[in-house]
Amino acid sequence: MIIGTAGHVDHGKTALVERLTGIDTDRLKEEKARGLTIEAGFAYPELEDDGELGFVDVPGHEKFIHNMLAGSAGIDTVLLVVAADDGVMPQTVEHVQILQLLGLSRGWVAMTKTDLVDDVRCAEVEREIETLLDATPLAGMPVYRVSSYSGEGIEALRATLWQQAAEASRSPARGAFRLAVDRVFSKTGAGLVVTGTALSGMVAKGDSVRLVGSGKPARVRSLRRQHRDSDYAWQGDRVALNLAGAGIEREATARGDWIVDESLVTPELTRLDVHVELLNGAPIVRHWTPVHIHLGVAHVTGRLSLLEGQRLSPGEGMLGQLVLDRPVHACLGDRAVIRDHGAHLTLGGATVLDGDPPRRGQRAPKRLAWLSTLADAVANGPPYDLERPLKAALELKSDGLALDTMARTVNVPLETLSEQVEALGGRVITQQGQSRAFSRQAVEALEQRVIETVEANHAREPSMLGTERERLGRQAMPGLPSLFFRPLLNTLIESGRLEQHGPFVSLPGHRVALDANDEALWLRLEPLLAAQPFQPPRVRDLATGEGLDEQRVRQALMACARLGKVYQVRKDHFYLASAIHDMARIVEALAEEKGAARAADFRDRIGTGRKLAIQILEFFDRLGFTRRVRDDHLLRREALWS
Domains for the chain: give ranges and CATH numbers: 2-167 (3.40.50.300), 178-264 (2.40.30.10), 269-437 (2.40.30.10), 578-635 (1.10.10.10)
Q: Please give the radius of gyration of the chain, using alpha carbons only, rounded to the nearest integer.
A: 34
Residue 550's CB: how many other CB atoms inside 10 A?
15
pLDDT at 461: 79
Alpha carbons 210 and 226: distance in angstroms, whole number: 22
**Which positions ≥6 away from 117 have C-beta within 8 Å?**
84, 85
Alpha carbons 384 and 377: distance in angstroms, whole number: 6
**Which positions ≥6 away from 336 have C-beta within 8 Å?**
272, 274, 293, 294, 295, 322, 349, 350, 351, 352
Strand order of the β-sheet with 499-501 is 467-468, 504-506, 499-501
pLDDT at 521: 95
Query: What is the rounded average pLDDT of the residues 183-203?
Result: 88
pLDDT at 629: 93
Greatest Cα pair distance in the chain: 120
Among candidates 63, 109, 82, 106, which has minimal Cα distance to 10?
A: 82
Checking if the pLDDT of 432 tops 80, the result is yes
Could you give the angle at the alpha carbon of 236 between the alpha carbons of 232 and 237, nearest 5°?
45
Alpha carbons 323 and 325: distance in angstroms, whole number: 7
pLDDT at 56: 83
The answer to whether residues 112 and 146 touch, using CB atoms and an 8 Å cutoff, is: yes
pLDDT at 402: 92
pLDDT at 514: 82
Alpha carbons 486 and 488: distance in angstroms, whole number: 5
Among candidates 222, 211, 277, 289, which has minimal Cα distance to 250?
A: 211
pLDDT at 63: 63
pLDDT at 642: 45
Segment holding 485, helix H or strand E: helix 482-494
Q: What is the DSSP letter of 597?
A: B
Phi/psi for 144 (5° steps) reads -110, 125
Calculate the alpha carbon distances from 494 to 230, 443, 457, 490, 565 in Å.
55, 15, 21, 6, 24
Position 35 confidence tier, pLDDT thresholds 50, 70, 90:
low
Using CB atoms within 10 Å of the CB of residue 56, give its burial: 0 to 12 exposed, 13 to 18 middle, 19+ buried.
buried
Q: Which amino acid is at 240?
A: A
With a pLDDT cut of 90, the percent of the chain lying above it is 64
pLDDT at 188: 77
Segment holding 293, helix H or strand E: strand 289-295
Q: Tell me the β-bridge partners of 431.
A: 434
Checking if the pLDDT of 34 tops 80, the result is no
Tally: H helices and E strands in the chain: 19, 33
Could you give the angle at the alpha carbon of 531 between the alpha carbons of 543 and 622, nearest 5°?
80
Across the chain, what does the average pLDDT equal? 89
Checking if the pLDDT of 467 tops 80, the result is yes
Residue 517's CB: how many other CB atoms inside 10 A?
12
C-alpha neighbours within 13 Å on the C-beta side of residue 557 = 31
CA quadruple 43, 44, 49, 51: dihedral sign: positive
CA quadruple 7, 9, 12, 13: dihedral sign: positive
Among candidates 512, 579, 576, 572, which has minimal Cα distance to 544?
A: 572
Among candidates 331, 380, 346, which has minimal Cα distance to 180?
A: 331
Note if the pTM is more than 0.85.
no
Alpha carbons 441 and 447: distance in angstroms, whole number: 10
Phi/psi for 342 (5° steps) reads -90, 0
Mapping DSSP onto H, E and C, the string for 211-267 reads ECCCCCEEEEEEEEECCEEECEEECCCEEEEEEECCCCCHHHCCCCCEEEEHHHCCC
Alpha carbons 365 and 353: distance in angstroms, whole number: 16
Calculate the alpha carbon distances from 232 to 182, 207, 242 in Å.
19, 10, 12
Q: Which amino acid is at 547?
A: G
At 536-595, the pLDDT tens digits run 999 999 999 999 999 999 999 988 987 888 999 998 999 999 999 999 999 999 999 999
Terminal CA-to-CA distance of the chain, rounded, Å? 62
Q: Got the DSSP string for 65-105?
A: HHHHHHHTTT--EEEEEEETTT-S-HHHHHHHHHHHHTT--
Q: Tell me the β-bridge partners of 203.
A: 233
Alpha carbons 415 and 428: distance in angstroms, whole number: 10
pLDDT at 129: 96
**Which positions ≥6 away from 118 have C-beta within 8 Å?**
none
Using CB atoms within 10 Å of the CB of residue 247, give its burial: 0 to 12 exposed, 13 to 18 middle, 19+ buried.
exposed
Which position has the higher pLDDT, 571 or 305?
Answer: 305
Checking if the pLDDT of 51 tops 70, the result is no
Position 637 confidence tier, pLDDT thresholds 50, 70, 90:
low
Checking if the pLDDT of 280 tops 60, the result is yes
Segment holding 508, helix H or strand E: none
Alpha carbons 90 and 281: distance in angstroms, whole number: 13
At 367-408, the pLDDT tens digits run 999 999 999 999 888 889 999 999 999 998 889 999 999 999
Phi/psi for 215 (5° steps) reads 75, 5
pLDDT at 640: 53
Checking if the pLDDT of 349 tops 90, the result is yes
Q: Where are the alpha helices (DSSP H) in 433-481?
A: 440-460, 469-476
Give how far the C-alpha of residue 88 lies from the chain's centroid of Cα atoms, to the nearest Å.
41
Q: Is 1 helix (H, G, I), strand (E, B) or coil?
A: coil
pLDDT at 343: 85
Among candidates 91, 67, 70, which has minimal Cα distance to 81?
A: 91
Checking if the pLDDT of 475 tops 70, the result is yes
**Which positions ≥6 away from 140 have C-beta within 8 Å?**
133
